[in-house]
Each structure stands twice: as C-alpha cells, then as structure tokens.
A = this chain, B = another copy of it.
Amino acid sequence: VRISELSEATGVPVHTLKYYLREGLLMPGRATSRTRAEYTEEHLDRVRLVRALVEQGGVAIIGVRAILAALDAPPPSQHDLYGVAACAMPSTAPDHPVDDDALALVDQLGWHVARDAPALRSLSAAVRAAEAAGVGLSPGLLRQYAEAMHAVADVDLSVAERAGSAQEALRTVVIGTVMVDPVLVALRRVAQEAVSAERVAGAAPAPT
C-alpha cells in the first residue's frame, strides 16, 4: 500500500509516519518511483506498535528505538531476554546508584539479580523519591511489595514461555512489560477500593 493508505489503515497522520521514517522507527518502504514507496503488512504492524508505545505506553522516542533494536536482534537464550528487555526498556534512573537497601532486599529474598541491574537503579531512585515525599518504606514493607511483584513476574514469565520463538518471546517481554505497567497501576487502585470495602465489612458489627 501507499503511505496515504498506511495512514488510513493505522489512523496515524502522514506527517507522523514521515517522522517515524526519519527517526528510524519505521523501516523504509520499497521505492516504486522517485517519490513513491510501497508498504506492507510488516509496516502496518510496526506503525501500530510504535504508536501504542509512544501514545499509550508513554515511552520516549529513544526508548522506542532501543526496544525496536532489541526486537530486530533476538538474543540466544530465554534468560538473556530479561537482560535485553531490561536494557531496552526506558530506565527511569539510568545514572542513579544502586542503594545498599536495594541490594539487602534482593539478598534477603534470595533473588539472583545482577548487582548493577538497571531495575535496581530505578528501584533505588523510586524509594528515595518516595522518602522525599514523606512515604517511608521500611525493609519489611518493601519485602511485602516485592513478594507481590514476584507473583506478577511469575505470570509475566509464563506468558513469555508460551511464545513460539525467541523473537516472539522478546516481543512479549518488552512490549508486555511496558504496556502492562499501566494495567497493574489501575488494578492496584481497583483493588484498594475492594480491600477497603472488605475491611469495612469485616469490622462492622454482625447483624442480629
């Protein structure tokens, strides 16, 4: 299809598609004349992915580029997927040092995690920011949250393991992680209302 049809099919304006092309987020179409190019199903998928990452996922262009580069070069083993995914995913605090508290947490839980993992930097930065806002996170509290997120990660891995190929698994890991974050954040708020209702009901005097 032509670029105008690609635009119609995806709902992304032509000037935005040209921007994606310039930024290397969309591979060039097959040139059919000096000013025209043909785009395929692959382009359609790519545009939908980039749009979802940028508009709904809130991922920065540099993060999108890293994610796409990772998707185009799948790593050898399943375990490596998370290393690649972790590096591809937009880090909230690439330069933040890893705090001793974060290391103590993973050691206490018996988690095998690289001691300079980007996620540990993000964790350290997020804990510090919460503390700056007056939200103290004791080691016990962090441990409880970590255990709940371990259950989330277990679900994540089961989904990735069902993927047919390393390429598809990586796609599942990277896109799934970024796009499911807002789902989890929303579920947390829904669950807060539910737990609050449960506790009020539990504390109410029994009907006579």
A residues contacting B by CB (< 8 A) are 45, 48-49, 51-53, 55-57, 77-79, 81-83, 85-86, 89, 92, 106, 109, 111-114, 117-120, 122-123, 125-127, 129-130, 132-135, 137, 141-142, 144-157, 159, 161, 171-173, 175-177, 179-201
Contacts and interface: CB of A to CB of B under 8 A. Distances in A.
Given A78-B196, A148-B149, A194-B150, A123 B52 contact: no
Nearest to A140: B155
Contact of A155 (B48, B52, B145, B172): B145
Contacts of A151: 144, 147-148, 151
B188 A153 contact: yes
Contact of A183 (B45, B51, B123, B182): B123
| Copies of this protein in the complex | 2
Nearest to A123: B186
Contact of A175 (B89, B123, B135): B135
B197 A113 contact: yes
Give the interface centre of A51, A86, A181 by most chain B CB atoms within 10 Å: A181
A60 B53 CA distance: 20
B192 A153 contact: yes
A167 B95 CA distance: 36
12 contacts: A52-B134, A56-B129, A79-B197, A79-B200, A92-B185, A106-B190, A123-B187, A135-B172, A141-B155, A142-B183, A150-B194, A181-B185
Nearest to A45: B134
Given A82-B196, A197-B113, A180 B135 contact: yes
